[in-house]
Each structure stands twice: as C-alpha cells, then as structure tokens.
Structure 1
Amino acid sequence: MPKPSLRDAILDAGLKEMFRTGYHGTSVRDVTTAAGAPQGSFTNHFRSKELFASEVLDRYFTYVRGLVAEALGDISLPPRERLRRYLDLITGKLAHDGFTRGCLIGDFSLEASGTSEMLREQLDEIFREWRAPFAACIAEAQAKREIASDFDPDELADFLLASWQGAMLRMKVERSAAALERFKTIAFQTVFKELP
C-alpha cells in the first residue's frame, strides 16, 4: 500500500513558516520539520524552494480571493461600504494574530521580487487580478455617485491596495491597529469620501 502524500502538509507548513520567517528565512528543513515530514519528501513534490514558494503564494491568494468575494460580493451593502468592509475584515484578522503578520503577498513583494524573476512575475499577475474586483466596486460607487469620479477606478484600486500594504507594514512595526485605522480614516475622508 503506497504511503499517503505529504504534499498538502508541507504546503500548509510552508505557509506558516514563510509568514513567520519570510521567504529567505525559511529553509526546506524548517518546512519539513514543521510538517513532520522527512526532508526527502520535499524534493519528491517540489523541484526547488522557488517553485514551492510559488505554490504557497497561490494557496495564500486563493484564501485572499475568498475574503475579497466575502466583502465585495455582498450586494446588500452599497459599494463604498463594501470597500470599507473588506478593510475592516482584514483588520480583524490581523488583530487576531496580534498584529504580527501582515499579507504574504506584500511580504513576498518586498523580499522575493528582487531575487526571483518568476515570483516577481507571479506577484505582478496577482496584483492585477486582485485589483479587478476593487476597481469594479469603485466604478459602481462612482456610477451611483457615492464617491467622486476624479480618478480612474483601476488607479484608485491600485492606490487602495498599495497604500493598504504600506499600512500593514507599519502595523507590524507598531504591533497595533493604529496605522490601519489611520489609513481607513484618511482614505474614507478624502479619496473615498461619500458625496453629499
């Protein structure tokens, strides 16, 4: 009888370890130890740490897509409120982790995009896909005259995601929600200000 695959356990462990110690700080040994797997099982499933990290990133983005759908897909709320709901949902998850973890996509963007062209290209594709539902929600808010139409929805979506990533970096340094709340307050009183 064949042994059960440890692939999912290794990917789960990799996600936790890379959140904890980063792309460069995580070794194959760290991952297999955390997964309770022999080191050889890593190489049975993954040809390199870079390819493994790519799958970890895909797994994480699948989770993020679910959060985006949960917040932005709730059409019982006006579009402007859906944007705020996403940020509040993420703030709650970050608080649950004691403000020690941010976003793996942002972390990889800082750490891995300069050393891995493959991961940089993957991150670029992720940001493009991630932007689309935010741009659609912003366009809907503009069409309903909830917010100003001074800027293109794609540009506003990029601004929102990039600025939010910056707020999360500051949050990790401060170990508090202050940077996140400051961003939400300023963004929703300026760029995403409700029209009278």
Structure 2
Amino acid sequence: MSSKKNDIICKVAEIIHSNGYANTKLSDILKETGIGKGQFYHYFQSKQDLSLAVIDYLISEMEKALFTNVLDKDFPPKEKLNLMLDEIYKMQEIGEGKNGCPIGNLAVEISEEEAMFRDKVASFFDLWEKKVQEVLDNMYRNGELRMKIDTKKQARSIIAMIEGAILRVKNSHDIQVFRDTIDVIKFQYRLLENGEINEKNTIHLL
C-alpha cells in the first residue's frame, strides 16, 4: 500500500471516529485530506471501498493494542486481564471519552444493508470475547477464581460492560463513569490491590 493511500485511510479513520460513519460525507473526506476527486478515485473505487479500508485499519489497530500487545502475550492470565482494562482506559482517557470506541461506534451505527461492514465488526467482537474467555479459563485453572463460572457468558459480559460504559461516557463527557466501571470489573475478578476500592460497597461473586 502506498504511503499516501495509508495517510488517507488514517485521516479518514479519525474523521469517522469523531463524526460517525453516516455523518462523514465524501466532501468532508476531500476537504480534510486535501485531495481532489481524481486523486480519491485513483486510490478508492467509492466511499464504501474507502470505508471498508478504514474499518480494516481501525480493527487492526484495536487488535494490535488489545490482542498482539496484551492478550496474545505470554503473561499470567490475571495480568493479561488487568493490562487489557488499563489499555482500554488509556484509550478513552486520551480523548476524555468524548468520541467513544471506534469499533463500538460502528457496531451501533452500521445498518443491516451494510453486511460487509457488520460482519467485520462482529468478527472482531467475537474474537475479543474468545480471547477474554481463554483468559478467564486460565484464571480458573490457576485457582484465581473462587468458583467455576460460565466463562463465555462472563467474557461477553465484561465486554458489554466496557462498551456500555464507553457509550455512557460519550454521552456524559465524564470519564469517571468509565473509571468506575473498570474498577468494578477489576474488583470482581480480584485484580485490584488492597485498598483501591471499598469492598463493602461492591458485590464480590467470583
């Protein structure tokens, strides 16, 4: 891929993350990237073609941050879960949570007619759930969970809590909402150091 094409994809990824997919028009893309229609169509067949490239880029960046750098590493499972939560918090903290999750935004916005987009996003979340489930399975085998649990349901719930909190922060512009959610997940899975959260105010099931 040429560096110019990659630059366009990266810039448009920022635009879509900030403005949303539906609100990003071809005129916006041309203006923000500083290219003309001729140059645009030299690199992409259509806005949909570019959007597919952007989705692939956003997913690859998330996979790199969460999978390659954390969940696929040879770390103890408890450390993996902790690092994953910390990494997601840092992502949100950078923009004060105002833009939401780039993949979650697409999951909410993309319509049924855009099956290729939807399938790519769904595959990312399916893989994320699978990797978190593997972490929980290994935590149980290591004796780091108090009881046997349905790790598939738990992994799905963890991600749902994360994405729900990100959506809430995007609406409220209050990053503390996300910090609270991360703290609750960490306490639930015994990831916090003693004294980081008040145990009397949190239900501890695992």
TM range (shorter): 0.7 to 0.9
Between stretches 63-72 and 43-52, larger displacement belongs to: 43-52
Partner in structure 2 of residue 132 of structure 1: 130
Q: What letter matches 1:166 in structure 2?
A: G
Q: What letter matches 1:123 in structure 2?
A: V
Q: What letter matches 2:95 in structure 1?
A: D
Partner in structure 2 of residue 33 of structure 1: 31
- Give the TM-score, by structure 2 length: 0.82
Partner in structure 2 of residue 71 of structure 1: 70
Distance in 2 separating the partners of 1:40 and 1:17: 20
The percentage of counterpart residues that share the same residue type is 22
Partner in structure 1 of residue 53 of structure 2: 55
Aligned to 1:24, the other structure's residue is in SS state: coil
* Partners of 2:165 and 2:178 within 8 A in 1: yes
Partner in structure 2 of residue 180 of structure 1: 178
Distance in 2 separating the partners of 1:39 and 1:148: 60
Deviations 1:63-120 (A, max 9, x none): 11121132334545x3223212211122122212222222111000111144412211
Q: What letter matches 1:132 in structure 2?
A: K
Structure 1 counterpart of 2:120, from 119, 122, 125: 122
Aligned to 2:98, the other structure's residue is in SS state: coil
Confirm or deny that 1:109 pairs with 2:96.
no
Partner in structure 1 of residue 197 of structure 2: none
Between stretches 51-60 and 103-112, larger displacement belongs to: 51-60
Structure 1 counterpart of 2:16, from 18, 40, 49: 18
Counterpart mapping for 1:135-146 below 5 A: 135-146=133-144
* Partners of 2:96 and 2:175 within 8 A in 1: no
Aligned to 1:25, the other structure's residue is in SS state: coil
Residue correspondences, number: 191
- Report the Cα offset of residue 16 of structure 1: 0.8
* Partners of 2:97 and 2:175 within 8 A in 1: yes
What are structure 2's unaligned runs of at least 5 residues? 192-204
Partner in structure 1 of residue 94 of structure 2: 96
- Give the TM-score, by structure 1 length: 0.85
Partner in structure 2 of residue 147 of structure 1: 145
* Partners of 1:13 and 1:32 within 8 A in 2: no
Distance in 1 separating the partners of 2:82 and 2:150: 19
Distance in 2 separating the partners of 1:148 and 1:75: 23
Distance in 2 separating the partners of 1:171 and 1:150: 32
Q: What letter matches 1:58 in structure 2?
A: D
* Partners of 2:92 and 2:100 within 8 A in 1: yes
Q: What letter matches 1:109 in structure 2?
A: A
Structure 2 counterpart of 1:82, from 66, 80, 83: 80
